[in-house]
């Protein structure tokens, strides 16, 4: 990465951190979870017994990729596939293999904010699907989505899986989905993953696993601020505290300050925390299907088909651009 880019990102990180910690209530943006350590911790979360989301969605992709493809009109002809937040493609690979059997001329555009992830996909995926056209795009979702449209005029199937949409509040998600819609054309498709409302204790446990990996994931944000912004958070003085509201479907994670304390961010700037003051670090919304239909209508899509895991805990919904 260019030095200018690194400095710019640090400045943005610094500004966002100070702004968030000087707000009331205090907050930090969950997008900053994902440094190299955060990426590794998230991988471990996905392997936790309590974190059901990954297995549910994996089951859908493993067992229903044929059905997904047959719900897409003319999939065999002229589609490219774009994945927003591609990660390791371990779920989408099942769909990609089936699409490749139909039409081996399509291009797969994995989009990820991590350059390392894109390099890995470009290296590893051809081992699983030889001769797959891959064009990795490293950057923000919307910018890269626009770029994929400029590179290829074929119709698009966009994938936004993992219930990543749940990490935005309802207002942000509709605004984001409208932007996605504007980057696509009429009759393009979006396959979008939603974690569904279920027994509240199952949801809460997923964000409070017994091994404490999610706790580490949350606290790593303070460690990252210490490392990158030269702050002096004492990690032991904070408690990981997730709560789930079954009415709103909002699972929120907090870091609670155990005592009154002052924390320096760099040499001169500081923030004060009261005893038991909270820092909100993440929202993970759980949806009813009715809610997802409303989101589709508000953002310019029409639901075409719903794909559930056997427990009906998770849904990948195929939306068409209208």
In this complex, which beta carbon is closest to ligand AVI, that of residue 8 or of residue 211?
211
Do residues 107 and 137 touch, judged by C-beta distance below 8 A?
no
Give the integer Cα–Cα distance in Å for 121 and 135. 10
Q: Is 208 in the site for ligand AVI (CB under 6 A)?
A: no
Residue 20 binds ligand AVI (CB under 6 A):
no
Rank residues 114 and 164 by Cβ distance to ligand AVI and give the closer one: 164
| From candidates 54, 163, 281, 292, binder to ligand AVI by CB under 6 A | 163
Report in angstroms how near the CB of residue 60 gets to ligand AVI at its nearest. 15
Site for ligand AVI in 84-143 (CB under 6 A): none
Answer whether 265's CB lies under 8 Å from 231's CB.
yes
| Contact call for residues 224 and 74 (beta carbons, < 8 A) | no
Of residues 167, 239, 258, 261, which one binds ligand AVI by CB under 6 A?
167
Site for ligand AVI in 26-45 (CB under 6 A): 45
Which residue has tokens 């651009």?
Answer: 321
Among 161, 166, 279, 296, binds ligand AVI (CB under 6 A): 166
Q: Which is nearer to ligand AVI, 78 or 88 (CB)?
A: 88
Using CA atoms, how far apart are residues 257 and 273, in angstroms rounded to an integer? 7
How far, in Å, CA of 127 to CA of 89, rounded? 13
Nearest CA among 122, 158, 115, 121 for reference residue 140: 115
Closest to ligand AVI by CB, 80 or 282: 282
**Does residue 302 contact residue 319 with C-beta atoms inside 8 Å?**
yes
Residue with nearest beta carbon to ligand AVI: 284
Using CB under 6 A as the binding rule, whether residue 249 contacts ligand AVI is answered as: no
Q: Is 164 one of the binding residues for ligand AVI (CB under 6 A)?
A: yes
Rounded to the nearest 5 degrees, what angle is found at the Cα of 77, between the Cα atoms of 164 and 133?
60
- CA-closest candidate to residue 137, choices 109, 175, 99: 109
Provide the minimum distance between the beta carbon of 110 and ligand AVI in the complex, in angstroms, as a whole number: 16
State which H helix or E strand residue 322 sits in: none
Q: Which of 148, 284, 292, 299 binds ligand AVI (CB under 6 A)?
A: 284
Q: Which is nearer to ligand AVI, 282 or 309 (CB)?
A: 282
Two structure tokens written together for 153: 């005029």
Residue from the set 52, 207, 238, 307 that interacts with ligand AVI by CB under 6 A: 207
Closer CB to ligand AVI, residue 188 or residue 209?
209
- Interface with ligand AVI includes 214 (CB under 6 A)? yes
Q: Please work out the total of residues on this chain that contact ligand AVI, with binding judged by CB under 6 A.
A: 12
Query: The tokens of 302 are what?
Result: 């029409």
DSSP 250-284: EEEEEEEESS-EEEEETTTEEEEE-TT-EEEEEEE
Kindly tell me the burial class for residue 55, based on how many C-beta atoms sit within 10 Å of its own C-beta (0-12, 13-18, 19 or more). middle
Containing H/E element for 310?
Answer: none
Part of the chain binding ligand AVI (CB under 6 A), chosen from 12-20, 120-128, 157-165, 309-317: 157-165
Binding site for ligand AVI (CB under 6 A): 45, 53, 162-164, 166-167, 207, 214, 217, 282, 284
């Amino acid at each position: 990465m260019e030095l200018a880019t690194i400095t710019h990102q640090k400045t943005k990180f610094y500004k966002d951190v100070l702004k968030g910690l000087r707000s009331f209530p205090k907050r930090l943006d969950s997008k900053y979870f994902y440094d190299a350590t955060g990426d590794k911790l998230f991988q471990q979360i996905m392997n936790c017994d309590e974190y059901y989301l990954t297995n549910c969605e994996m089951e859908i992709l493993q067992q229903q990729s044929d059905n997904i493809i047959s719900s897409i009109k003319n999939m065999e002809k002229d589609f490219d596939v774009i994945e927003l937040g591609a990660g390791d493609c371990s779920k989408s690979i099942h769909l990609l293999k089936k699409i490749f059997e139909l039409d081996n001329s399509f291009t797969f555009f994995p989009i990820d904010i991590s350059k390392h992830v894109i390099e890995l996909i470009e290296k590893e995926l051809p081992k699983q699907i030889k001769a797959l056209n891959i064009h990795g795009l490293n950057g923000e979702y919307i910018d890269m989505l626009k770029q994929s449209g400029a590179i290829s005029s074929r119709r698009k199937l966009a994938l936004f899986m993992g219930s990543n949409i749940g990490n935005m509040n309802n207002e942000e998600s509709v605004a984001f989905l409208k932007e996605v819609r504007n980057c696509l054309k009429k009759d393009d498709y979006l396959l979008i993953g939603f974690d569904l409302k279920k027994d509240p204790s199952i949801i809460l446990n997923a964000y409070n696993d017994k091994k404490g990996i999610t706790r580490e994931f949350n606290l790593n944000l303070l460690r990252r601020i210490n490392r990158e912004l030269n702050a002096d958070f004492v990690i032991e003085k904070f408690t990981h505290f997730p709560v789930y509201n079954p009415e709103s479907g909002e699972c929120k994670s907090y870091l609670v300050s155990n005592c009154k304390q002052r924390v320096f961010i760099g040499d001169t700037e500081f923030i004060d925390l009261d005893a038991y003051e909270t820092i909100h670090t993440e929202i993970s919304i759980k949806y009813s299907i009715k809610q997802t239909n409303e989101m589709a209508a508000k953002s310019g899509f029409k639901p075409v088909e719903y794909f559930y895991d056997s427990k009906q805990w998770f849904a990948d919904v195929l939306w068409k651009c209208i």
